[in-house]
Amino acid sequence: MSNNETSTEPFQTWMCLICGWIYDEATGLPEEGIAPGTRWADVPMNWTCPECGARKEDFEMVAV
């Protein structure tokens, strides 16, 4: 079995600067309609943090 080229990049984790809530690309946010495996770049621009309502621009990537 060969891997799809587009799936070889590791998933990354993002943290809300305001409340510390974590978005994990591998987990997604199914309750918000964001499927597991959704890249941060593919999260809608109008999405907001479920904890504090911050926008995407208030998030920062954290190392995993």
**Residues near Zn ion (CB under 5 A):** 16, 18-19, 21, 49, 51-52, 54
In whole angstroms, how close is the CB of 19 to Zn ion at the nearest point? 3
Contact 29, 40 (CB under 8 A): no
Nearest distance from C-beta of residue 47 to Zn ion, angstroms: 11
Find the shortest distance in angstroms from Cβ 52 to Zn ion: 3
Nearer to Zn ion, 38 or 49 (CB): 49
- C-beta contacts of 30-39 below 8 A and 24+ residues apart: 37/11, 39/11
Number of Cβ within 10 Å of residue 7's Cβ equals: 8
